[in-house]
Structure 1
Amino acid sequence: MSVAGTYTPKPGAAPLSRMIGAQAVLETKMLLRNGEQLLLTVIIPTLLLVLFSAVDIVDTGDGKAVNFLAPGILALAVMSTAFTGQAIATGFERRYGVLKLLASSPLPRWALMTAKTLSVLVTEVLQVILVTVIAFALGWSPQGNPLAVLLLLVLGTAAFSGLGLLMAGTLKAEATLAAANLVFLLLLVGGGVIVPLDKFPDAAQSALGLLPISALSDGLRDVLQHGAAMPWGDLGILAVWAVLGLGAAARFFRWE
């Protein structure tokens, strides 16, 4: 039988790791329950993979079309989640005051960004598994170094997350919605995802090759289609974008 006063209250915040984990789980559940985000991050990339692999619309060079398309669709999946989806969701959280409330909680602001990044990574793992299974069903024959693929995906996620948070933290929610979707469509067409960069004029190829989506899709294609060991040039481009994007987001992000 317990005696009154045996237990002394000890108010305080939960351990930081537990707070980050709980917030990451919440962010992931919210993302997976959002039909519009699922359309953008899961359904559209898989439909594009199936459509362009089955129908000879774009000249993808020698070999099966899926061998060219699958790496580009993996890059598109990363961009759709880390950039477009995160920018839109965070922009509206900022508009409705959700971020302001979270910023006043015991969870530090950097820990909130960490939880959002973990949520993005979990979603990307599900996307990669889905795209890979569908690509194998279409006859994909990947090769190359898995470590190089992992480095490309991690740096690509960092680059697009920084750009997405920068957009969400500086523009109004409606502007973020329009701009993020517009950038998604433009990079889908001009980022080497579906249409090879060598189909563009020589002057445009140099500029397009410096885009993060081009570096990610070309790097994944070099490894998975051509068996390259480590695409240092593409990794360098993604690293620069990651540093610039995350640095600018940390500097200019407004919480309300």
Structure 2
Amino acid sequence: MLDGWVEPRLNRRESFIYALSQLVTKTLVLAELEVRKLRHDPSDLLIRGVQPALWLLVFGQVFTRTRAIPTGNLSYLDFMAPGILAQSVLFVAIFTGGMTLIWERDLGIVQKLLASPIPRAAMVLGKAVGCGVRCLPQIVIIYGLTLLLGVNVNLNPLALLQVLVIVLLGAGCFCVFSLIIGCLVKSRERFTGIGQLITMPLFFASNAIYPLSLMPGWLHILSSINPLTYQVDALRGTMLVNGSSLYGFGLDCTILLLTLIGLTIICGRLYPRVAM
């Protein structure tokens, strides 16, 4: 009589696979919701491309002529291009994740999501994936600018795929970091101030616009724990024809992935604080 009334109990392996599939499915659903927001304001994608364009056209052109920074067998503009792509991803991720979270809290959307049976990790990763998709047009914009400026960009399909992976991982890391800040602060004004406070130190404490060899010891230590350093290193080894990576593409991806997992666990714990 109980046939069909009680579901069979899954073993540990089946339970893990089922939980993982549910996490992936719900993450993609929430990521789709984030991507749909682009239809309401597609001009934001072009506006986000203005800042990296200015860095390449002004800062890059000037320092290429001065030759004050040693970059080995690369011109300074070639050396700088991957760093500007990473900077663009950093700025988009920081000012998208936490700010969006605060807006959704004020509109009551976060409270509804928290009342649903969606895993907190899926809520975090959904926004991270959506932010990664939002950063993809930055690749097109910066690649177009670098080609016009004569940068030796590697257009091999495998290299493009590697750049895509690194951009998604970097965007995910900094988006989740931004979400953690959004969980802790209570107003958009305070988040904007904190976001501006942390973006420039993250950028300058990396190898984005100068090599690690020029850094003093204390700054070199900070750069070694900065995820942006590994994102730039991977982009420099894959984006350029004559580019090289200090740590290797595999290690860079591993560090970014572990950082993303660690930040996701922290953010999942803090996420209910948004509704308080």
Question: TM-score scaled to structure 1, two decimals?
Answer: 0.78
Distance 1:33 1:103 in 2: 31
Within a 5 Å distance, the mapping from 1:104-115 to structure 2 comes to 113=124, 115=126
Letter in 1 for 2:222: A
Task: Quote the offset at 1:142 in angstroms.
Answer: 2.3
Partner of 1:76: 87
Deviation at 1:176, TM superposition (A): 1.8
What's the Cα RMSD here? Answer: 3.2
Contact 1:88 1:180 in 2 (8 A): no
Aligned partner of 1:148 among 159, 162, 165: 162
Q: Give the secondary-structure state (helix, strand or coil) at the position aligned to 2:210.
A: coil
Identical columns (%): 23
Paired with 1:65 and 1:121, the residues of 2 have a C-alpha distance of 27
**Partners of 1:215 and 1:238 within 8 A in 2:** yes
Structure 1 Cα separation of the partners of residues 26 and 76 of structure 2: 47
The match for 1:241 is: 259
Aligned position for 2:55: 48
- Quick one: which amino acid aligns to residue 265 of structure 2? G
CA offset digits 1:56-89 (Å, max 9, x no partner): 2662524322211111111112211222332223
After superposition, where does 1:11-30 map in structure 2 within 5 Å? 20=30, 23-29=33-39
Alignment of 1:117 with 2:116, yes or no, is no
Contact 1:94 1:169 in 2 (8 A): no
**In structure 1, C-alpha distance between the alignment counterparts of 2:28 and 2:132, rounded to whole Å:** 18
The answer on whether the counterparts of 2:98 and 2:181 sit within 8 Å (CA) in structure 1 is: yes
Show the counterpart of 1:4.
none
Shift of 1:224: 2.7
Please give the alpha-carbon distance, in whole angstroms, between the structure 2 residues aligned to 1:105 and 1:242: 24
The reply to whether residue 189 of structure 1 matches residue 218 of structure 2 is no
> Would you say the 8 A contact 2:35–2:134 is kept in 1?
no
**The residue matched to 1:124 in structure 2 has which SS?**
helix
- Does the 8 A contact of 1:166 with 1:249 survive in 2? yes
Gaps of 5+ in 2: 1-24
Show the counterpart of 1:220: 235
| CA separation of 1:128 and 1:201: change in aligned 2, threshold 3 A | same
C-alpha deviation, 1:223, in angstroms: 2.7
User: Within 5 Å, which residues of 2 pair with 1:206-217?
Assistant: 206-217=221-232
Instruction: Please name the residue that 2:105 is paired with.
Output: 94
**Code of the aligned partner of 1:154:** L
**Cα displacement (A) at 1:30:** 5.1
Q: Deviations over 1:34-72 (max 9, x none)?
A: 5xx965x32212211221221126625243222111111
Residues 21, 166 of structure 1: alpha-carbon distance in 2 compared, 3 angstrom cutoff: closer
Aligned position for 2:249: 231
Distance (whole Å) between structure 2 residues aligned to residue 202 and residue 18 of structure 1: 42
Supply the AA of the counterpart residue of 1:224: M
Q: After superposing the two structures, state which structure 1 stretch, 162-171 or 202-211, moved more.
A: 202-211
- Note closer, same or farther for the CA distance 1:84–1:192 as it changes in structure 2 (3 Å cut): farther
Query: Cα distance 1:33–1:132, how it changes in 2: closer, same or farther (>3 A)?
Result: closer
Is residue 82–residue 164 contact of structure 1 (8 Å, CA) maintained in 2?
yes
